[in-house]
Amino acid sequence: MIEQPKTGGAQGYLRIATEEAFAPPKMLDLYRKLLADGYDDPGFASLWGFYLGSPSPRATKIIERLQDLGPQRIQYMDDRGIDRQVIAVTAPGVQVFDRDTAVAMAREANDMLGEACAQHPDRYTGMAACAPQAPAEAAKEIERAITKLGFKAVIINGHTKGEYLDNPKFLPILEAAAALNAPIYIHPTGMPKAMVQHFLESGLDGAVYGFGVDTGLHALRLIVSGVFDRLPNLKIIIGHMGEALPFWQYRLDYMQAAGQRAKRYDFLPALKQPVSGYLRDNFYITNSGVAWPPAIKFTQEQVGVENTLYAMDYPYQCDVEEVITLDAMDMDAATKKKFFQTNAEKAFGL
Amino acid sequence: MIEQPKTGGAQGYLRIATEEAFAPPKMLDLYRKLLADGYDDPGFASLWGFYLGSPSPRATKIIERLQDLGPQRIQYMDDRGIDRQVIAVTAPGVQVFDRDTAVAMAREANDMLGEACAQHPDRYTGMAACAPQAPAEAAKEIERAITKLGFKAVIINGHTKGEYLDNPKFLPILEAAAALNAPIYIHPTGMPKAMVQHFLESGLDGAVYGFGVDTGLHALRLIVSGVFDRLPNLKIIIGHMGEALPFWQYRLDYMQAAGQRAKRYDFLPALKQPVSGYLRDNFYITNSGVAWPPAIKFTQEQVGVENTLYAMDYPYQCDVEEVITLDAMDMDAATKKKFFQTNAEKAFGL
């Protein structure tokens, strides 16, 4: 019989899970209200209509677990051998609300998470929510959450009403994160209205495929916008094995260079590096949702051993079998320790 | 000095390039007319506005080479060591035209390619164009091209005005291909109008990323529609290293199963296999545009040695350095021969 994973590092490393989610009950109430009011965002309606409306065990358990930051969560971590969760408000966070609601809810979510982190400093690390709808306030809230609440990163739950972080209006957010040495985790959310139709009509808009497409786009938009040439110490984290960008690297490099030589898009700046150079220098990649050694090793080899981090994706995906599989990976002990523990300690400054 | 690749198989295998393109001059004239008439398809306008409008060497050379099926193409093949090209009408083929124009142009393109194949039977293999706008006629044209012209596959250049092959209206095309044992190559094209906006505004709509996203979606739509449970001998070919689906397999399997258990999309049928099972049983994957041994080996290992085929992507990507890189891959001789030669011979019945 296979032994259950335990916390404490007896296996030679701590397990730090870096893409774990929570939801303030009030935020879920606001989602319910948006759904009831017919908020015109089919990707959001597909995602939260399912989780808040489905009687399935998957939906009901996830809604229950998302709202808990207390003993139940700690028990789940203990049962799965997770020493520390790096926790963020779940997607879409506050990014679907009007500006004032978003600003207030981000602050409230951070206070709630901050309190939980203060109660469990050896088990929880916080990521700062913010309202991109109000970029200057977002920058201030990020600073507050990092400096006052002790958070170590920023969560951006994908596009904000169809706008991505490469939009110049969001520069204060990027600058604040870079100045505070806080990486920005770009998490998937429901696909934007201008993209979702052909995914939604085929049941492929969610985590199964659409999330990855849209989050990969988000990361690439930042890269081709040249923002990393202007803010070289800005760090971005993407999950789900880098939303397949590690596998796309050759084509990304070839076609970005071909387009640049041919001046196909006159609004795009010349980049100092190939796309893959930014993945290596400015990105951390977590394996959230992908407990699959071949993809983890590919990313370690083709992006970097130092770039590749462990994540679980609690409570969306938290099977103990996945922990057991990853513990058993055929990988040298030093690399495995980087993956599970020390890369996260460096990325988040733990 | 590295020796230039030569045709003839002295290296232990023939090189069969399986995703090579041509364009009838008349079809390009029809594209020019669509562009001039302001045809409302931003993905098409971005793609063909560039190739037909840009003075860059990339665009002008590609337009010249696309239209040639004669000595210049053979010379390029000789210079790059390509023994055989499997050739298809370039994207979007006839799929942007009105129904009657599309039906006529598909026939004309097939006749033109058929003549070239008859002149160079040892160098060219044809893929059948068809007009999905007229599914019954398309099935007839596929049958004519396979049985009368000796073509060995069908080319579908992505969505047809925002409709994908999983749409039941296209079933005659799938049935004809399956009945004739002809694989269908799904090639990328400009992203559909309902998807392209956020890719186009960031210069990421083309081969650099958007193509892969949309073609991956196309393949997945077929899988989750259950068509392979109804037509188990239907074979689909996708290029660009499987549009990253090999790398996504774990997440596709996990989330498709989770959605099925939770009955998230009531219109989706229960599948007999996980998504990865269909990739293995019903797909060939070519490395067009991806002359990168790590991704090729990953696909061989995680989808299948028998599923993974060589392609060049002439004239869009045809650097001799890529042939040299792939010849030098650290791979056993038997596997390399399957990759370059015998898998294609089986897939196309050569």
Each residue of A224-265: pLDDT tens digit?
999 999 999 999 999 999 999 999 999 999 999 999 999 999
Helix or strand run (H / E) with residue A237: strand A236-238
The rounded distance, in Å, linking the Cα atoms of B199 and B209 is 8
Asked if the Cβ–Cβ distance from A195 to B197 is below 8 Å, we say yes
Q: Which two tokens stand for residue B203?
A: 């210069």
What distance in Å separates residue A53's CA from the closest CA in chain B? 10
Strand order, beta sheet including B184-186: B16-22, B84-89, B124-128, B153-156, B184-186, B236-238, B283-286, B308-309
DSSP letter at B160 equals B
Question: Which residue does chain B place closest to A258, by CA atoms?
Answer: B58
Asked if the Cβ–Cβ distance from B208 to A317 is below 8 Å, we say no
The rounded distance, in Å, linking the Cα atoms of B30 and B330 is 45
Does any CB of chain A come closer than 8 Å to the CB of residue B168? no
What distance in Å separates residue B301's CA from the closest CA in chain A? 9
Give the best residue of B50, B193, B213, B287 to mutate against chain A (max A CB count within 10 A). Answer: B213
Cis bond before residue B71 (omega within 30° of 0): no
- Which of A 4-63 lie inside 8 A of B, CB atoms? 50, 54, 56-59
* pLDDT given at position B259: 96
Residue among A58, A198, A302 minimizing CB distance to B294 = A302
Q: Would you write out chain B's pLDDT as a tens digit for each of its 350 residues?
A: 567 899 999 999 999 999 999 999 999 999 999 999 999 999 999 999 999 999 999 999 999 999 999 999 999 999 999 999 999 999 999 999 999 999 999 999 999 999 999 999 999 999 999 999 999 999 999 999 999 999 999 999 999 999 999 999 999 999 999 999 999 999 999 999 999 999 999 999 999 999 999 999 999 999 999 999 999 999 999 999 999 999 999 999 999 999 999 999 999 999 999 999 999 999 999 999 999 999 999 999 999 999 999 999 999 999 999 999 999 999 999 999 999 999 999 999 99
Question: Which residue does chain B place closest to A199, by CA atoms?
Answer: B217
pTM of the shown model? 0.98
Question: Which residue does chain A place closest to B48, by CA atoms?
Answer: A264
Question: Which residue does chain A place closest to B221, by CA atoms?
Answer: A202
- Closest by CA to B52, choosing from B66, B44, B63, is B63
Asked if the Cβ–Cβ distance from A56 to B289 is below 8 Å, we say no
Parse chain B into domains and list their residue ranges. 16-345
B234-252 per-position pLDDT tens digit? 999 999 999 999 999 999 9
Taking chain A, what is the end-to-end CA distance rounded to the nearest angstrom? 35
Asked if the Cβ–Cβ distance from B54 to A251 is below 8 Å, we say no
The rounded distance, in Å, linking the Cα atoms of A262 and B70 is 27
Does any CB of chain B come closer than 8 Å to the CB of residue A178? no
Taking the domain B16-345, which CATH number applies? 3.20.20.140
On whether the CB atoms of residues B85 and B314 are closer than 8 A, the answer is: yes
Give B45's contacts in chain A (Cβ within 8 Å): none
Does any CB of chain B come closer than 8 Å to the CB of residue A244? yes
Number of helices (H) and strands (E) in chain A: give both, helices first.
17, 8
Question: Which residue does chain A place closest to B210, by CA atoms?
Answer: A217
The rounded distance, in Å, linking the Cα atoms of A118 and A135 is 27
Does any CB of chain A come closer than 8 Å to the CB of residue B267? yes
The rounded distance, in Å, linking the Cα atoms of A154 and A86 is 11
The rounded distance, in Å, linking the Cα atoms of B157 and B51 is 17
The rounded mean pLDDT for chain B is: 97
Residue among B58, B213, B263 minimizing CB distance to A261 = B58
Q: Is the ipTM of this complex over 0.95?
A: yes
What distance in Å separates residue A118's CA from the closest CA in chain B? 34
Can you list the alpha helix ranges (DSSP code H) found in chain A?
A: 25-36, 42-53, 57-66, 71-80, 99-119, 135-147, 171-179, 197-200, 210-224, 227-230, 240-243, 245-261, 275-282, 293-302, 320-327, 333-337, 343-348
Give A212's contacts in chain B (Cβ within 8 Å): 248, 251
Does any CB of chain A come closer than 8 Å to the CB of residue B198? yes
Question: Which residue does chain A place closest to B287, by CA atoms?
Answer: A251
Give the best residue of A198, A267, A288, A325 to mutate against chain B (max B CB count within 10 A). Answer: A198
